Structure 1
Amino acid sequence: MLALAFRMAPPYSGSMSDMLQQASGKDRERWLAGESDMGRRIARHDWARSPIGSLSRWPQPLRTLVDVLVNSTQPMFVAWGPHRVLLYNDAYAGILAGKHPAALGQDFLDVWDEIRADLAPIVDAAYAGRAVHMDDIELMMNRRGFPERTHFAFSYTPVNGEDGEVAGFFCPCNEITGQVLGERRLRFQARLDERLHPLDDLEALVVAASELLAAEIEVPHVAYARIDAGQRYMLVKGEWGDAGIAPLKGRYAFDALVPGFVDALRAGRPVIVPDTAAEPAADASAFHRGAGAFLAVPITKDAEVVATVLVHASGRRIWSEADIDIARDMAGRVWSALARARAQTAAKETSERYRVAALATNDAIWDWDLQNNSVLWNEALFVTHRFVPGDVEPTGDWWIDHIHPDDRERVDMSIHAVIDSDKEHWAESYRFRRGDGSYADVLDRGYVVRDRQGVAVRMIGAMLDITEQKRIDAALRAGEERLSFALDAGGLGAWELDLQTGELTTSTHCRENFGKPGNAPFSYADLLATIHPEDRARQQEAVERAIAGQHDLNIDYRVVWPDGQTRWINVRGRPAFDETGQPVLIAGVSLDVTHRTLADQHQRLLIDELNHRVKNTLATIQSIAMQTFRHEDGVGAPPEQRDLFESRLMALAKVHDVLTRENWEGARLRDVVLEAVAAHCGGDQAAFTVQGPDARLAPRIALSLSMALHELCTNAAKYGALSVADGQVSIRWVVEQAGDGRCLRLVWREQGGPAVRTPSRKGFGSRLIERQLGRELRGTVELRFEPTGVICTINAPVADPGTIAPATLPSVK
């Protein structure tokens, strides 16, 4: 028995009239004539012969308490007066079972004489004015003609009479036997699994399981028997018991057994014998062996009985559903364990796969016994859905009650529709209340197990938590909506071409880009038909190159709308490949760039016109210069000055040509250098070495650098390395990180020329290089006259986006 833990509370003072409106006159007995059976019984009872006297003389506190309990659906009773006279309601009558209705008006402790030792201290405490609350008390009751282990939760509240003294106590209670037995069953299953798991020997496994079952249900003997596939005999594989029961181990032919016993086993029904002495057929059975009570619980696999557990009690015993359930659990687990032992390797592999799958999915796996409305859950229910074992009732009602109220009726109807039909599979999505009160979105699936008659007896399933998946799906939908909004806002149409089937999927805006209504069918053949005939081959070649080269597609081409308009469309895409490297699709976006293309064409026309006019201007300047420098009668500039001016003008024109090719958006450094030195290479290209990474320069920097290189080349040709046959010039540059930006470092170095001396004065060319170039580049220029040759070092920031490309050019000789 559980130790009694008392909780102290102040006694109930006065009447309970503040809870219910008091009645008067004839209305006082109105509650005794209502729908309550116990109300009518209390009204008819001869109370005048009882210790509490006739009903009309009852004190108001007692009348109020009776009013409360008669109209309540919760089990309640009142024990009144020194003789503890018992009054109770309809719900408590169910707890009394066979003691009802004789218990009405009797001494409470006499009614429960078999548990008087347990209840008397609690009753004494209540009459002493101390309230007692019990969450769980175990009581061995005898209310149906046999001892029965029960569990209750209740409160005893002292009630004062009209004289202010304790006159009795009031008790609301609940029987929690089912919940406790369900938890006990789960604990037994866990202990059984733990005990059987490491065992491989068949007999040792059966003996261990039999010993556990015997201890759990307090019997002296348990045996396990396997039934052959043809159901011709039964083989007792192992047993556990004391000396009072003769051993059963051996083989028993069904033909030699009692027909009723065999028929029940073959049908999968338990054989329940509470008293072997009272049943002649039990005496004839080979399995009772002097036991006072006998129980055989079969288990079935694929609608065939495969094994049974045999249980013996020393004396007469009424077998409970809990005993049968636990015996069935033992038999089923022994069967599974024996199968595992017979195929240990295969079972271990299966167990490992199941374990990994359970960890990967976090499915809450459930086993619903439809005959007993009991549900077993695996550990995932507690881990994933935040329950503790005491919070989970092993019933189908508990499960249904935890479904969201808005989903409950739909789920309950759908699952029973499958159970009541001949279907096997069920699936529903709903919201399930977790242990912390929050709701999880779940996908629940179940399989119905039916007996030979097609009646659903069991349902096994798995409940998958899809809360996170639904959150991700919602986020994806929101992202797709944002993407669609962004595409529409930018005039972009989305498309995807399946390279295996040729099927083209397009958005509304994409179809509109090609001149088709947003809801019109649009195949890849339709797309090709809209492309201008002069651009069609180029478009197909671009797609094929992108797929073959596994790079992005980016192409502009013309399309002809149904109304005859010609539009320019920019199409960008990226191919996708499977694990073998085969292309499976290409997808991307389309954009109507007609206005941009026409504007670019107009801009190009203007630039070409400007370039033409600049060249004409430079030609005019050259003509004027030539007229100015011309010698007439010994008057005019020397020829060498005329040649120098002309060469500088030509250098400016050449770098202008480089910029013109790039639409004045910039120029490649390598092109600027090669154009500057080209005129001085002559037939000896070995005179120059040009090396450095490719870099793109702004127009301002390109012009200034070109003029500086021209001056360096001119000076080298006159006085330096280029003035002799073996002289060489190297032009090398690097791009370095400088603080938060990057810096171009270019070095001009002459070798093999005449010895160099620092000039006494600087000419125009030197001043152009050191001063003008430094200002234009926003950097520094250092010109050194080393004996071995001139060295010019140029440092200039290059912070423009896309200025530097990573490739390194080979040396140019």
Structure 2
Amino acid sequence: MSEQSEVSAVEDVASSQSDAEQRLAELEARLSETEKQLRWSNGKLRMALEVGKLGAWERDIETNELTINAACKANLGVPVDEALTHEELEKLYHPGDVERIQQAISYALATKTDFNIEHRIIRRDGRIGRILVRGGAVYENGKPVRMIGVTQDVTEREKIREEFHLAQRRQDFLLTLNDQLRSFEDPYSIMEATSQSLGSLLKVDSAGYGEVDQDRGIVLVEREWSKGAISNEGRHYRLQEFLPGMLDELNQGRTLAIADVRIDPRMGDPAIQSFYNTINARTLLVVPLLKNDRLTAVVYANSSEPRAWTTDDLALVEDVAERTWTAVEKARAEMRLREAESQFRIIAESLPALVWIIDTDLRLTYANARWLDFSGLPVEDSLGESWMRWIHPDDLTRVLKKMEVHRRDESSHTTEMRYRTREGVYRWHMIQAAPVHSARGEFKGWCGTSVDIHDIKETEEALRRSEEQLRIALRAAKMGDWSWDLATDRLNLSDRAAEIFGLPPGTALSGLDLQKQLHPADVARAVDAMEKSVGKLAPYDVEYRISRANDGARVWVASQGQTTLNDDGSPSGIAGVVQDITDRKHAEERQQLLIRELHHRVKNTLATVQAIVGSTARTASSIDEFYHGFVGRIVSLARTHNLLTEDLWQKASLEELIGTELGPYEDEARNRILVDGPSVELPSEAAVPVGMAIHELTTNAAKHGALSTFGGQVEVKWRVEPGDTRPILNFVWTERGGPRVMTPTRQGFGSRLLQRVLATQLQADVHMDFQEDGLRFTMVMPIPGDPPLFNPDK
């Protein structure tokens, strides 16, 4: 090689080396610039990732080594200082999204495109999150070696989106439900639509609308949606079973949301757990409906899985509950209104009366077919003011004047007026009208009836004349009338009949009340007479004693009647008259008493005369002495009878009664008869029986006692003491020196008179002591002050 060639070669080498160094410098400059740009890009990327809250990740496909930054770990819910492998990452994927994630990555690798997928992850704390993952593969020589990408936590965004969709869905649900509820007329269809719609929306196992009967302690569920099916069996649950221990909360209007029945402390009772196991319910939501502070209904939902009820769930169900209750009550009100209108028309057309409605201007707005038939008007002319032309002019003026008052007071009214028939004849009608108000309380007019009472009015007038004649006849006979209803056991008395029984006018009695007034000895006879009258349809005729209610006086009444019959011929009661026969009975008693007394006194008088004859004969020394003594005693005896019967039996002195009876037996020494006591005037009702008693005692003494032998003595003493209401007479009759006394073996008329008459008529306490040395008779009695009971001249 020549020198020139060598030099040229050296120069070429030097030039190449210089070029290489220059290129190296350029490359280093470019590398420095690239690194600068890379740092700049990394800075911007890091800022972008931080601002966008993006996490970055890189995965080596061959080694599955995973590199993620702190933001990515935060998105995944992994601690910052924890290393994470690809296998561990895949375990965080929600099982429902794993297949979709794998398909997206596989497709991106196959098509050499980026992938973009949103999926759920299960964080370490158990919460479910949602992330957006974007990434792609890095290729070398056409082969993917790495996967890189970013993640973004979109949980809150999705939550907001879901809440928006849910709110939109619920709004659509409520609008649809409203349309449904408005379309139903049947309350049960409304309950059914609510239960089905609510159950589907909430995705629960069962939902229903129940009405609460607190008096019976149950929830009645007419319609229940359960797992896609509607039950219309009308189930009912016991409140304490369905909602144990929580009624207080419901009664206060608080919604009950139970996430898990098994762990809720209020549901710990084994019986409650058993109940909810039976209906397969783990979660429960109950919304109470309070109306007028009273629990009236509930809307409920339950499911077999626990559920945390959200405030939106509660608000929705509470809204649905109120809408449902309003729709149910409205449907029921409208149903009742339709039924009422239907029933009104049925009743109006079937009533034997004119049925009508007039407005506040007294214009006829409705009339039943009977009005058309009565008036003869065509339908088109039957309303408005047409009715006024059919009223008697005298009645119309009166009625229109009264209607002004009723219109002002919005009040009901009843009156009578005459309507003209199509034949031109006026007939009496009874008008009854009630005010009509709208649902808002606005006065709309009256609804009323006009009932033909013309025949009744004529019958009433005839009956009135007949009753007046009967009253005149009964008044003249001093009788009262009565009627007894067998079905009600009610005894109605006229005013005179009530007066006889001592009762206020208009009093009605039961059979038992009447029996209480009857004398006990007469009850059986009176009841037997009534039973025979009803059983044998025989006349009722009985006399009995009663205690007058107002003053307790014992009076005799005579009652006569005749059995009344029902339409089928069965007895319906008795109607009759009653008369006070006390005076007649007393007259009969006096007559019988006087007859017996006359008979007895004649016998006693003869015995007395005989005793006087004997006594006088034993003591007289001559015929003349015997005559004068005998005549004197007979005259004294006659004075006794005169004393008892004179002065219309008004009053008699007790001392005179005693003196008159015992006077004939007094001897000249005046020590045979001893009388001592204050002046006492006895009314005739006491003087007669007391005089009879003294006479009996005197006669007995003359026949068998102290006056029957010489030396016998009779001592009579009395005194008067104050009593509670009347003075008390203490009377003592004592005999001495007579024959030996023995208790009689039988009771004669005199003894019966002393024991019964004095005790019965004078309420006297009488005692007879047959002591061996002589009879001792005592009598303690209140001195009567009333008018005489026995008066033969009355």
Larger Rg: 2
> Normalising by structure 1, what TM-score?
0.29
> Normalising by structure 2, what TM-score?
0.29
- RCO greater where, 1 or 2, for CA within 8 Å and sep 6 or more? 1
